């Protein structure tokens, strides 16, 4: 059955591919982005040419998010799926990033999700069903040096997603976290780099490691062995088309680097529900237990 879907950060990368893939699958897709009439106009026009509706929405601005979601609801009548894809990367010596940079990182990657959820969930709760797909990262489970600030934002999404999953479990709303691995998208090429560059030399040879890591990734992405970013769109389409209550809590896409093992361990701990039991809240986990997930 075709669904009405809103996806954030859809001008490029996973977001754009997912929007186009969902539209080809017969769904009505609202692809959101900033500056759709200016800098991102070529991306917006390309999506429209493929039958995708384009919505102006800046996840760092409360009013913009509220307007964008209201416009979707006005045009579609209802919303079935929210895909929180908007995000920015970060790579470098952690100390060399300014506080302002880290605030900007979290404003998109974490607070942006909270903004869209606050705008969309009243409609989901009213209709008694819906699906939230948050795009996290394997770096929300596995820590790589020099990617720690980006990873910290994705670690935050782990807790945010789990909490919303419990809180919405009795209201017919599924919440799923997709954890992509490294893929050739814009996120590395356009990643934040440290603004306080004078700090890195104090790390000696280690200070040069971030550039070498990025160079290695870029070389991989340009090679015949490059992973296919379309894997993520395919996974999201499968999630969208599954029945409510049967979806997994998490889905690693691509090379896991151990994230799948950590997911399994965390699921085992959560399944014991000791903290929930002590508070008399085990019923919030019952839906996911029945479907065999954490």
The answer, as to whether pTM is greater than 0.95, is no
Say yes or no to pLDDT of 290 above 80.
no
DSSP string computed for 174-198: EEEEEEE---SSHHHHT-B--S-GG
Radius of gyration of the chain (CA): 19
79-92 residue pLDDT tens: 999 999 999 999 99
Confidence band, pLDDT 50/70/90 cuts, at residue 291: very low
Active site residues: 150
12-68 residue pLDDT tens: 999 999 999 999 999 999 999 999 999 999 999 999 999 999 999 999 999 999 999
280 vs 245, higher pLDDT: 245
87-123 residue pLDDT tens: 999 999 999 999 999 999 999 999 999 999 999 999 9
Q: 287 lies in a domain?
A: no
In terms of Cβ atoms closer than 10 Å to its own Cβ (0-12, 13-18, 19+), residue 42 is exposed
Q: 184 lies in a domain?
A: yes
Number of domains in the chain: 1
pLDDT attached to residue 169:
92
Q: 176 lies in a domain?
A: yes
Q: What's the chain's average pLDDT?
A: 92
- As beta bridge partners, residue 135 has 178
Q: 277 lies in a domain?
A: no
Residue with tokens 């998010």: 65
Confidence band, pLDDT 50/70/90 cuts, at residue 273: low
Confidence band, pLDDT 50/70/90 cuts, at residue 217: confident
CATH value at residue 255: 3.40.50.720
Quote the domain boundaries for residue 115. Answer: 4-261
Q: 246 lies in a domain?
A: yes
Nearest 5°: CA angle at 43, between 85 and 68?
55
Q: 273 lies in a domain?
A: no
Q: 125 lies in a domain?
A: yes
Q: 26 lies in a domain?
A: yes
Average pLDDT over residues 154-158: 98
């Amino acid at each position: 059955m075709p669904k009405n879907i809103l996806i954030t950060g859809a001008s490029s990368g996973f977001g754009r591919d997912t929007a186009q893939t969902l539209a080809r699958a017969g769904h009505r897709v609202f692809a959101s982005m900033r500056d759709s009439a200016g800098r991102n106009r070529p991306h917006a026009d390309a999506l429209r040419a493929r039958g995708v509706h384009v919505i102006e929405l800046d996840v760092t601005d409360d009013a913009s998010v509220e307007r964008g979601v209201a416009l979707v609801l006005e045009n579609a009548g209802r919303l079935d799926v929210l895909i929180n894809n908007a995000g920015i990367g970060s790579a470098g010596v952690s100390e060399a990033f300014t506080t302002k940079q880290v605030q900007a990182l979290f404003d998109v990657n974490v607070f942006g999700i909270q903004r869209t959820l606050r705008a969309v969930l009243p409609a989901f709760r009213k209709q008694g069903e819906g699906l939230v797909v948050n795009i996290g990262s394997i770096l929300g489970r596995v820590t790589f040096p020099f990617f720690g600030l980006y990873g910290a934002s994705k670690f935050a999404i782990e807790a945010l997603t789990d909490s919303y999953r419990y809180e919405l479990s009795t209201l017919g709303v599924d919440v799923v976290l997709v954890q992509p691995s490294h893929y050739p998208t814009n996120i590395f090429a356009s990643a934040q780099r440290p603004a306080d560059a004078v700090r890195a030399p104090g790390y000696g040879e280690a200070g040069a490691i971030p550039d070498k890591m990025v160079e290695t990734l870029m070389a991989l992405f340009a090679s015949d062995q490059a992973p296919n970013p379309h894997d993520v769109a395919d996974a999201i389409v499968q999630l969208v088309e599954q029945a409510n209550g049967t979806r997994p809590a998490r889905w690693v896409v691509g090379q896991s680097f151990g994230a799948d093992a950590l997911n399994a361990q965390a699921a085992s701990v959560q399944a014991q529900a000791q903290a929930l039991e002590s508070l008399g809240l085990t019923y919030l986990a019952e839906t996911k237990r029945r479907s065999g997930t954490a």
